[in-house]
Amino acid sequence: MTDAPTRLHALRETLRQASVDGFILPRGDEHLGEYVAPCSERLAWLTDFTGSAGMAAVLMDHAAVFSDGRYTTQMEHQVNGLCWERLHLIETPPAQWLAQHGANARIGYDPRLLSEKALLPFLEAGLTLVPLVRNPVDAIWTDRPMPPCTPCLEQPLEYSGLDSATKRATLATQLRDSGADCVVLSDPASIAWLLNIRGNDVPYTPLSLCFAIVHADATVSLFIDPAKLTPRTREWLGEEVRTFLPDDLPAHLAALAERRVQVDPAANSVWFIQTLEQAGATVLRATDPCVLPKAIKNPVEQDGARRAHEHDAVAICRFLHWLQTEGVGTGELEATERLDAFRKQCLDYREESFPAISGSGPNGAIIHYRVTPDTDRILRHNEVYLIDSGAQYPYGTTDITRTVWTGPEQPDDDVCDAFTRVLRGHIALARAHFPQGTTGHALDVLARQALWEGGLNYDHGTGHGIGSYLSVHEGPCNISTHYRPVPLEAGMIISNEPGYYRPGAFGIRLENLLLVQPAVTNGENRPFLAFEVLTLAPFDRRLIAVDMLNTTEIAWLDAYHARVFEQVAPHLDNVGQTWLEAACAPLSAR
């Protein structure tokens, strides 16, 4: 099977054999992760859509692919419109679409791929949902790759800052206080943080795919392919972490009959809840207890983040220098390869933290554009180029976006106007002081205000959490128009990335990572917080309409550029230092 109609037809035949009239297929895997192993790329295999967020809904006479505003243009390019409707999942939710087209249908789903929270809208829509024992896509995916089996490695204390025994003891105390006998963890990032382990089972995120049951006595039952465990890692885990085969998990869940088991209804698949309740266990629905402490970086992790960003800044500045002097005439793919090559000059560099977004001209307007050999576009003179990339180092994770002008002519006023409005929003958020207990939702308007004043906006969040040598997109904090009841706390790392996108013309996004820190204030005797900027790279001065900035914004930008030059210049050669000095020159002297 090599084309969308054939795959869709085969899926429908399999659904008929399963006595269902439709099927829901999410993007995630059994761990509900953002980045998945090749064997779990079911949505991409079925629909050709490769975005990191999405869902397909299939009926016998209709089919649709859904994603958010980051991927609407990408869906238009990748998904066969003769087979699939291509819809915005906020404007047309999948449950609403199914209720409209298949109100009386029996809709199958894989209970290992959907959380209880994700199923709720479908139940509220009055749909009849049928859990399937085997995923019907797996039944027709004849050349499906084998599951990954890379070594599980220890994350030493010099990077983690806190030993696993202490983390487990704290978690066990929380379980006992809440009356739980144990908690089920299916997010490999939570398990990686708790046990101080890492791996390479999925791209871009150093995870070892596994499941765990953490007991109230601080012991752990770890369900992992034994081939992943070296003798050194087994010793690192210690005697209180008992290892089992993944196939042993159902039996262990069944053995929890009459126990009180904590499960996150958003982070665990509904299969866990169904299996536990069928066994007679009492399910306590609560947030994954690792999520918040993982997000609040300890001092060692904070220092690791600073170190990672200093290394990354050298690579980024070398790349921006190359881009200005040699980049025009090369392709978007070659540009990403050049950036990766600069990062590889640091021996601690491990891999990208996500696929680099390298968009020139109109491709930059595709918010999560992913260049391929078929879409590769040559960088031309006098256009806007956007590069959004990130890196994994053993002590930190980075994510940075810069938008540059390829010259040599001066950019149009409307481009500079849009760029400067994005920059003003970026500065406003970076400068924010806010009382403890403030959510990211309350800060989002700071990044959008200058854009709104010009009648502009962007259809994505402003900030997401960042892991410590873990996921580049980490909960629970965010900065967005969508409310999330999680206040920002000292130690959290979050992105600051407002943007503007003009379809068919250009895209602008400016992103730094921010570390939440206690703020020194002269006002009320209540704790305030502020941001420490971690990212170190210049903003393109050619795109800044200086007369649109006030004195405070100019002062912030000049101070930031002075810091960039001070910390990065010593690691560049003489030619690079000369370039960086000009790139970081004060706007007040322009």
Determine whether 374 is exposed, middle or buried from the number of CB atoms within 10 Å of its CB (0-12, 13-18, 19+): exposed
Q: How far is CA 185 from CA 33, 56, 213, 285, 514, in A?
A: 13, 26, 6, 12, 28
CATH of domain 153-290: 3.40.350.10
What is the C-alpha separation between 171 and 288, in angstroms, rounded? 10
What is the C-alpha separation between 45 and 60, in angstroms, rounded? 19
Q: How far is CA 129 from CA 9, 15, 278, 555, in A?
A: 21, 13, 18, 58
Residue 509 DSSP one-character state? E
What is the C-alpha separation between 459 and 464, in angstroms, rounded? 14
Whole-number pLDDT of residue 1? 40
Largest CA distance in the chain: 73
What is the C-alpha separation between 524 and 176, in angstroms, rounded? 38
4-139 and 296-581 share one fold: no
Residue ranges per domain, the chain? 4-139, 153-290, 296-581
Do the Cβ atoms of 208 and 197 come closer than 8 Å?
yes
Do the Cβ atoms of 115 and 31 come closer than 8 Å?
no
What's the CA angle centered on 372, arms 369 and 377, to 5 degrees?
80
Q: Which CATH architecture has domain 296-581?
A: Alpha-Beta Complex (3.90)
Place of tokens 């871009």: 204
**Fold of domain 4-139:** Creatine Amidinohydrolase; Chain A, domain 1 (3.40.350)
Do the Cβ atoms of 407 and 530 come closer than 8 Å?
no
Whole-number pLDDT of residue 2? 53
Helix, strand, coil percent content, the chain, rounded in steps of 5: 40, 20, 40
Pairing of strands 260-263, 182-185: parallel
Q: Annotate 525-536 with b (16+ C-beta within 10 A) or e (fewer).
A: eeebbbbebbbb
61 closest CA partner among 26, 95, 2, 21: 21
Residues with Cβ within 8 Å of residue 274, at least 6 apart in sequence: 111, 131
Q: Is the pTM of this model over 0.85?
A: yes
Do the Cβ atoms of 89 and 67 come closer than 8 Å?
yes
Residues with Cβ within 8 Å of residue 82, at least 6 apart in sequence: 5
Helix 574-583 and helix 299-322, axial crossing angle in degrees, nearest 10: 100
As beta bridge partners, residue 515 has 493, 532
540 closest CA partner among 442, 378, 410: 410
Tens of pLDDT along the chain (590 residues) come to 458 899 999 999 999 999 999 999 999 999 999 889 999 999 999 999 988 889 999 999 999 999 987 788 788 888 999 999 999 988 999 999 999 999 889 999 999 999 999 999 999 999 999 999 999 999 999 999 999 999 999 999 999 999 999 999 999 999 999 999 999 999 999 999 999 999 999 999 999 999 999 999 999 999 999 999 999 999 999 999 999 999 999 999 999 999 999 999 999 999 999 999 999 999 999 999 999 999 999 999 999 999 999 999 999 999 999 999 999 999 999 999 999 999 999 999 999 999 999 999 999 999 888 898 989 999 999 999 999 999 999 999 999 999 999 999 999 999 999 999 999 999 999 999 999 999 999 999 999 999 999 999 999 999 999 999 999 999 999 999 999 999 999 999 999 999 999 999 999 999 999 999 999 877 677 899 999 999 999 999 999 999 999 999 999 999 999 999 999 999 999 999 999 999 999 997 66
What is the C-alpha separation between 261 and 284, in angstroms, rounded? 6
What is the C-alpha separation between 200 and 37, in angstroms, rounded? 10
Whole-number pLDDT of residue 230? 94
